[in-house]
Amino acid sequence: MADIATLTQQAVTLLQQLISIPSFSKEEDRTADLIEQTLQQHGVQTHRKLNNIWAWNKHFDAAKPTILLNSHHDTVKPNSGYTRDPYDAKIEGDKLFGLGSNDAGGCLVSLIAVFLYYFDKTDLKYNFCLATTAEEEISGVNGLELIIPDLGELDFGIVGEPTLMDLAVAERGLMVLDCTGHGKAGHAAREEGENAIYKALADIKWFRNYKFPKESEVFGPIKMSVTIISAGSQHNVVPATCTFTVDVRVTDAYRNEEVLEIIREHVKCDVKPRSIRLKPSKIDKNHPFVQAGIALGRTPYGSPTTSDQSLLDIQSIKVGPGDSARSHMADEFIYVDEIGKGIALYVEMLDKIV
């Protein structure tokens, strides 16, 4: 078993190697190769499905509960504001630059280091399952969701996303709804047809004003926003349809299915969710891992952004080095010392329970 200082050095080197390899969502095969090879060099037996790599600790015991360590190795494409090579993983001063350095490379290599720290320990109360996954940035179906059935029974999950190592004890879910209001086409110069725009407006007003009866202790009310609208083909034709899109940020007070049912009860338009997979989540603040983090000065909070945590049906928490505000920014970076501090904090919190 390597010490934390050695694992930190190795983590920084691995992160530089990962940054140098483009790994856009659905194109993560080469970073998957690198992660697989790195783990195998440490004596870890790995498993792979598409671009997802997972492994269990050396002395896995089916009679013990299992902790999932998960983060992703895909990235968004670099935005047009970059002033430097996004794949040139240079350390300048106290910063390590590069696409994916903060989201979520720092978290990924830190959790790999944590897994290796515990890998060959024989006296653990828990097993560890490491899952380094693909397609997180596009909420794809060939990432974590694809391999969950292969991971076996899981009892608790740590999802690595940049949170400044504070504790995201709740996360909003997401539903994107495609809605269609129906009317009847006619000539605009005569009293013909039924204008689908006017019919849709009534439903749009409902989306704007409706308050769900239950509110989350962490997030407050569910937020619904109409973000796209389209209707009509030419100025003199009353439109027969009006389509609009609604962004629904679901809180832990409801399940996605419940919210969808309530919406359909109140509006006249057709409502089609693109997905109900991205679920809200919440963990009890009395959970031992949360309490361990609080004891170490970490702040619990509710995360408004969606991650692979939304795909889990177990108690889980989102926590990792780096800052969410730096995600997807031009000239993305992570502070080098955030990685070492992140590894040490992960281990300190886990030591309280494992």
What are the DSSP calls for 107-143, one per residue?
HHHHHHHHHHHHTT-SS-SSEEEEEEES-GGGT-TTS
State how far the alpha carbon of 111 is from the alpha carbons of 114, 120, 145, 288, 296, in Å: 5, 15, 19, 19, 18
Which residue, of 242, 275, 308, is where some domain finishes? 275
For residue 306, the model assigns a pLDDT of 87
Q: 112 and 131 share a domain?
A: yes
Give, for 231, the enclosing helix (H) or strand (E).
Answer: strand 223-231
Q: 17 and 148 share a domain?
A: yes
Residue 330's domain comprises 4-171+280-352
Residues of the chain with pLDDT under 70: 1
Which residue, of 215, 241, 275, is where some domain finishes? 275
Query: pLDDT tens across 189-214, in order?
Result: 887 889 999 999 999 999 999 999 99
**CATH at 322:** 3.40.630.10
For residue 1, the model assigns a pLDDT of 57
Q: Structurally, how many domains does the chain consist of?
A: 2
Residues 6+ apart with CB under 8 A from 347: 4, 114, 117
Which residue, of 253, 275, 297, is where some domain finishes? 275
Q: 216 and 167 share a domain?
A: no
CA–CA separation, 231 vs 179, rounded Å?
Answer: 12
